[in-house]
Amino acid sequence: MIKTRGISPLVIPNPASVELQETYTLITGASKGLGKEMAREYARRGRNLILVALPGDGVKEFSAELERLYGIRVVFYECDLADEPALETMARWVIDHFSVDQLVNNAGIGGATKFEDAACAGLDRIIHINIRATTMLTSRLLPLLKRHSKALILNVASLAAFGPLPYKTIYPASKAFIYSFSRALCRELRGTGVRVVVLAPGPFISNPDVAGRIMKHGRLAKLGVLTAKQISRQAVSGAERGRKVIIPGFWNKVSRRLMHWAPEYLLLSLMSKAIEKELP
């Protein structure tokens, strides 16, 4: 259900308004973690923003902060992307009022638990947010993006997209979908002016809880850990340079190679032992 939606004082969606001729970057999951840092990075580069976040996550205050610091226009919209009618209403609102030439599908959720202990509603929510919301929002906004000679879709996958993870089961599968979807769509849209980039970050510290879970994985796992700020800068810079797949961090690139060449039974064994440390 849509709780609220907000228009910053600097942006009024009026068909006669000059602001409609200015372009925007739309970012989902923009009030915390990587999405928040992505918004900061785009703001530093002078991009106007449409920030989509859950109600009550502080996106209104964050939008005002970015406007004040960087002199850009920021619009915010609060909704739950797992709610299909809410997603459709938000997409329609964007299409009717704004000129969007960049879409960042960042919103995603995960967690570690035994599959048999996971509630069906929780599993369904991961699928809706990580897979369905990205797919549907991309589909709805693609005609809007194609109006521009140069446009960008940046989809956030994960290093987990390249191999199954026991006790996380649905999350890496959803990110494997994002990776495959992005690479295929990139090829389909060749020559249209719309580029599709997929970001596959390794572990990163977004809050104290995540930091605690990462530290449990041992010394080897810590090698690839970056901050959300580092990842966002590498992501935006890589996309601007024309990269199609972005894996931030040297050790994460090494891990990607190892995941490709190592026997699956060995990877499953190693990852199972590591993730078991996250379980209650």
Rg of the chain taking only CA atoms, in angstroms = 19
Chain centroid offset of residue 8 CA: 23
Residue 171 annotated in active site:
yes
Counted residue by residue, the chain has a size of 280
**CA dist 38 to 9, 115, 189, 242, Å?**
22, 32, 24, 17
Angle at which helices 170-188 and 134-145 pack, to 10 degrees? 20
List 70, 171, 179, 265, catalytic entry: 171
> What DSSP state is assigned to residue 210?
H
Q: Give kind and range of the element (H or E) at residue 6.
A: strand 4-6
> Positive or negative CA dihedral for 129, 135, 140, 145?
positive
Distance CA 172, CA 123 (A): 12
How many CB atoms neighbour CB 66 within 10 A?
Answer: 24
Which are the catalytic amino acids?
A: 171
